[in-house]
Amino acid sequence: MRIVCRPLTNWPGQLREPGQRRRAPFSAGWTATQELLGREARMIGGRDLVFQLALDDTQLRIDGWPRAKAQTDHPGVTVVVPDTDHGRLSWSTDRYTRWQDNVRAIGLSMEALRAADRHGVMAGRQYAGFRELGSGESDEPRFATVEMAARWLASASGWSGSDLPDSLVTSPGVRENAWREAAKRLHPDAGGNPEAFRRLEEAKRMLDLHGGGA
């Protein structure tokens, strides 16, 4: 089961006002929440799970997880399981004051939905309200700007220099060399993280399409 984090691009409906949110009654830690999500996604045939937070790519690590000091704009969370026995499913909530608690609330809701069909009466109909139809879009959005792609590639390459991101945008040669260095570290055949390598390719593609240089 692959679980990754992505920036939240759209919120379904209207966000709660801060005063309308409450502290969660949960005591379980983040590791237990990940285990809950993975188990529930697997039980409905899912292989991947994406949780979306109100932050941008600069607050994510190379492997796609939030940085330790990442700050979200609000605690709302969307969880997407792209490929299940019931189609592409998503859940969203901002009921609690911490995003970690909202992720757990969604995991518990997934568990409750599955339990509703333990006697075979629902036949999967309990998932109808959480199904995304005809979106045709990836659950993993591209970098929002070339600057964000450049900052990510700079970090992945391991190179330093305050002007490096600008050079990655304007110079195809610098861009290619940085990509090669990052690819040595991240390629799955060399023991790298497949998700990080996919994001490396995405960053390079965006810079090639929209960056400068001939």
138 in a structural domain: no
139 in a structural domain: no
Q: Which pLDDT score is estimated for 56?
A: 85
Clarify whether residues 24 and 82 are in a common domain: yes
Q: In which residue are the tokens 């607050």 written? A: 59
150 in a structural domain: yes
- Predicted confidence (pLDDT) per residue in 154-212, tens digit: 888 888 777 788 889 889 999 999 999 999 988 888 887 777 888 888 888 888 887 77
The whole domain housing 11 covers 2-130
137 in a structural domain: no
The strand order across the sheet containing 87-93 reads 2-7, 48-53, 77-84, 87-93
- Predicted confidence (pLDDT) per residue in 74-102, tens digit: 999 999 998 888 888 999 999 999 999 99
45 in a structural domain: yes
pTM more than 0.75:
no
Residue 87 burial class via C-beta count within 10 angstroms: exposed 0-12, middle 13-18, buried 19 and up = middle
> Among 105, 130, 155, where does a domain finish?
130
Clarify whether residues 49 and 110 are in a common domain: yes
Q: How many domains does the chain have?
A: 2
Q: How far is CA 191 from the centre of its chain?
A: 22
95 in a structural domain: yes
Clarify whether residues 15 and 112 are in a common domain: yes
19 in a structural domain: yes
Clarify whether residues 124 and 18 are in a common domain: yes
